[in-house]
A and B are shown apart, each in its own frame.
Chain A
Amino acid sequence: MTNSHLEVRNLSKRFGDFIALGDISLDVAEGEFVCFLGPSGCGKTTLLRAIAGLEPQSSGTIRQKGRDVSALPPAKRDFGIVFQSYALFPNLTVTDNVGYGLVSRRRKRAEIVRRVDELLALVGLPDSGPKYPAQLSGGQQQRVALARALATSPGLLLLDEPLSALDARVRLRLRHEIKALQRRLGVTTIMVTHDQEEALTMADRIVVMNAGAIEQVGTPQEIYRRPATAFVADFVGSMNFLSGKLAAADRVRVNGHEFSCPLQDGLAPGTAVRLCIRPEDVRVRDLPSDVVNRVTVEVAELDFVGAFCRATLRIANAADVAVTADFSSNLIRDLGIEPGRQLDVALPPDRLRVFAA
């Protein structure tokens, strides 16, 4: 990559016999917003801390803007960091917290004051300068932490689960603010999160991690629409998994029913596979008579979730195969869907994914 800000090559980290990171390679482009997404213990925070130099890797190299920083202590790398705990200095005012990194760079006093004011305005807290962190709400504290990390204009911004300690409403608002800020400043950003929605809404690219390895790297749309592995398919969003066998390169047999699916190059016919479809991709309305992958189902359960209902559908003649589907309230009203009713649904082939079982 020509405009790469960060190049991670063959990075590994072990604690005793436990491999926290196994041979990770990754590029982050200049100005990009990348999310490390994965369940707890997948190594995403370890990777972030290795990039910061807070917990050195066991082997592998990290280059930032072409400079090998693999063996440099944190103080000699170029990054700003925001933690889940905010890590604001409780005995210093907001102004002093934000200006903390500026003072030691021997900037002029007036210049520091101006920069702090500018940053506080940037994060939407122009009047909070004289307050102490304990007098601010969690969301405000996190904004101060962000301003402090940005004060020295670092080339790389690291966010370690910055929103997880906040309540849901504040979290939603801060998501947008952080994203907008990042776009405005164009600062290369890496955020660690276990919240898929956060990653999908904020990131330019998502790095999905599991058990110390990268499962998939891609844009949010790619990750959601074309998950590369069963793990990604399962971890990001909701997904139906139907066990079956590959009947032909583009056909999967599930319990007597055959479905056509995208062409599978890598898998030999006869291979045990899992056929995947997202609940919102199950079609019911306006099915043409010649629609592919039509199947008759019985509505077994209907769970009200608010904006929509999640239906559990049992395939006729194969009652042990259940598919969940998301139906809007309108749809349920229009078609008179209720538990016990039979109806025809279609599983659009272009929405189907197949993974080796």
Chain B
Amino acid sequence: MSIAAAVRLRTTRLSLSGDELAMRAGVVVLALVLLVIVGLPLWSLLAKGFEDRDGRFVGLANYLAYFSTPALFDSALNSFHVAAATTLIVVPLAFFFAYALTRTVLPARWLFQGISLIPIFAPSLLPGLALVYLFGNQGFFKGLLGGPIYGFDGILIAQVFYCFPHATLILVTALATADARLYEAADALGASKIRVFFTVTLPGAKYGLISAALVVFTLVITDFGIAKVIGGNFNVLATDVYKQVIGQQNFSMGAVVGMVLLAPAALAFVVDRLVQRKQVALLTARAVPLIPRPKLGRDAFFIAFCTLVSVGILAILGMAAWGSLIKYWPYNLSLTLDNYDFAKVDANGWDSYFNSLEMAAGAALFGTALMFVGAWLNEKTRDFFLMRGIVQLLAFLPMAVPGLVLGLGYIFFFNAPGNPLNFLYATMAILVINAVAHFYTVGHLTATTALKQIDPEFESVSASLKVPVWRTFARVIVPICLPAILDIAIYLFVNAMTTVSSVIFLYAPDTKLASVAALNIEEAGQTAAAAALCIVIVVTSASVKALHVLSDRFLLGQLQAWRRR
């Protein structure tokens, strides 16, 4: 018998230890949870698009109706238009800003980096509100603009503000990983600075640029708050979904628009994954990190550039803050805190803010636990490929799904009369679940990345020492991954605090959230109070982030002495 034939004879399967059985059970439970909070809601949405108002199957009728309604189809074009324009502006802007942060000698780098992050802590309607103050019908600089700010221009400016930090973060990462030896080699070969830029710097950041462009494009297409506040009669896909569902109660058409909204986001996601797969590690272990050296002309230029961008960001934030403190815009500019008495403009008063805190804390707590334990189970369970593949797929899905679309799916799924989970509908729990599901991918990826950096032999050692896996998880894995775990928790908290789109369909009167309340207040014409609420959200999420940075620097240093060499 040849060796090959003997090998083909049979394959040994190891019997499962109790630990491994438990882990497999955990993976199955995780798959079921993700199916319920991601898979089935999306399925319900998909199905809804093929039904009429009474729930009868009508095939493609809704889609035909959609594409033959010029007003609806125009929104798709509008969305595409404004997303493309924003991408074209934000990506170069963010690239130069990231270049300044990573490749030049910039004084107070941390300050510029901090300022560039501010928009992340704001609900997307904040820049909209600031623009209303600046250029709106009663704005300061109304005359400066040729026409009204409401519409394409307004959305574009606000989106640039809103998307800037997302692109900058990606590009800083892309540019931070540079091998100094490549630059030394280029210098030694006598290449000009311009040529070095185009042959070394730009190719090195290529994948970052593509990724940043796709992220920005998707953010704009799927954002709801900005278009709502400053879009005027300029309809986009996201506002159409809202109008169909909330305005006309046409759920089927809402589902169709949702699917149309899903298409570009999903496409961008797939392209991004394909591109990322092509990227190989540019920075080998032997690379020498590039440390920028002072160069007067270049540094001065980038200091000016960064100052300008920072002033722009601060101006928008400052305008919103100032507007929130003004008695009666634009007639009585004296300062007051009256606008912060939300009970005057909204029955919920400050309750919506506390709801937001509760929801964000809940999402951070339960979400982090689920994402980290889930990522660990999926990473460390042996074999069991099919189930782990399903988990991986479901964990990646939310990234491709706009919040509005997921929220819509939640209505259809959880509000279905036959669903045993129906009791969750209109509770705080469903808001938390929705937030966890919506932001699942980033948390899962962060956890997976952190886990992959851990020596894979830890599990082998533990097994040889007969130590149960859960013990190694608690004593070794969690402490090592603590920074990543905190990152996930903060990410969830900040995003849950600021999100509008994923929760707009899901709140009940007593679970209304601050971001939604701000939107409603603005709709009622109380711009100052809406701005005040947005500022409260910014201050909250930025403070939490600041606490995180401080704790990372000091607390972790104390608790985790082992990290020091």
Chain A residue nearest in CB terms to B471? A104
In Å, the complex CA distance between A104 and B16 comes to 20
Docked-complex contact A91 and B17, CB < 8 angstroms: no
Q: Which of B481-496 contact A (CB under 8 A)?
A: none
Contact with A along B1-35 (1 / 0, CB 8 A): 00110110111111111011000000000000000
How far in angstroms is the closest Cβ of chain A from B458? 6
Q: How large is the interface on B (under 10, 10 to 19, 20 to 34, 35 or more residues)?
A: 35 or more
B79-87, B230-238, B460-468 - interface stretch: B460-468
Which residues of A have CB within 8 Å of B14? 53, 56, 71-73
B191 within 8 A of A: no
Given contacts A10-B6, A72-B14, A73-B20, contact A104 B467 (CB under 8 A): yes
Given contacts A12-B6, A91-B476, A134-B565, contact A100 B465 (CB under 8 A): yes
A81-89, A166-174, A246-254 - interface stretch: A81-89
Docked-complex contact B9 and A59, CB < 8 angstroms: yes
Docked-complex contact A73 and B7, CB < 8 angstroms: no
Docked-complex contact B466 and A87, CB < 8 angstroms: no
Docked-complex contact B465 and A91, CB < 8 angstroms: no
B461: which of A59, A72, A87 is its contact (CB, 8 Å)? A87
B475 within 8 A of A: yes
A114-122, A147-155, A229-237 - interface stretch: A147-155
Main secondary structure of the interface of B (DSSP, over half): helix
A339 within 8 A of B: no
B422 within 8 A of A: no
B329-337, B511-519, B556-564 - interface stretch: B556-564
Which residues of B have CB within 8 Å of A101? 464-467
Given contacts A19-B7, A73-B20, contact A104 B12 (CB under 8 A): no
Which residues of B have CB within 8 Å of A10? 6
Starting from the known contacts A12-B7, A75-B17, A151-B465, 12 additional A-B residue pairs (CB-CB under 8 Å) come to: A12-B3, A22-B3, A59-B7, A59-B9, A59-B11, A73-B17, A76-B15, A83-B460, A90-B562, A92-B562, A104-B465, A152-B466
Docked-complex contact B560 and A75, CB < 8 angstroms: no
Which residues of B have CB within 8 Å of A135? 565
Docked-complex contact A57 and B12, CB < 8 angstroms: yes
In Å, the complex CA distance between A66 and B20 comes to 25
A79 within 8 A of B: yes
B562: which of A72, A79, A80, A91 is its contact (CB, 8 Å)? A91
How far in angstroms is the closest Cβ of chain B from A25? 12
How far in angstroms is the closest Cβ of chain A from B131? 49
In Å, the complex CA distance between A70 and B421 comes to 46
Docked-complex contact A14 and B467, CB < 8 angstroms: no
Which residues of B have CB within 8 Å of A59? 6-7, 9-12
B46 within 8 A of A: no
In Å, the complex CA distance between A90 and B480 comes to 8
How far in angstroms is the closest Cβ of chain B from A129? 14
Which residues of B have CB within 8 Å of A90? 480, 562-563
Chain A residue nearest in CB terms to B11? A58
A323 within 8 A of B: no
In Å, the complex CA distance between A184 and B474 comes to 36
Chain A residue nearest in CB terms to B463? A74
In Å, the complex CA distance between A60 and B560 comes to 46
Which residues of A have CB within 8 Å of B9? 59
Which residues of A have CB within 8 Å of B455? 83, 85, 87
B457 within 8 A of A: yes
Docked-complex contact B7 and A87, CB < 8 angstroms: no
A159 within 8 A of B: no
In Å, the complex CA distance between A148 and B4 comes to 39
Contact with A along B530-542 (1 / 0, CB 8 A): 0000000000000
Which residues of A have CB within 8 Å of B565? 134-135
B479 within 8 A of A: yes
| 8 sample A-B contacts, Cβ–Cβ < 8 Å, listed by A number | A58-B7, A58-B10, A59-B11, A59-B12, A75-B466, A81-B461, A100-B465, A100-B467
In Å, the complex CA distance between A174 and B356 comes to 60
Docked-complex contact A83 and B461, CB < 8 angstroms: yes
Which residues of B have CB within 8 Å of A132? 561-562
Which residues of A have CB within 8 Å of B562? 90-93, 132-134
In Å, the complex CA distance between A152 and B565 comes to 29
Chain A residue nearest in CB terms to B383? A56
Given contacts A19-B4, A134-B562, contact A71 B460 (CB under 8 A): no
In Å, the complex CA distance between A264 and B339 comes to 104
How far in angstroms is the closest Cβ of chain A from B472? 8
How far in angstroms is the closest Cβ of chain A from B8? 8
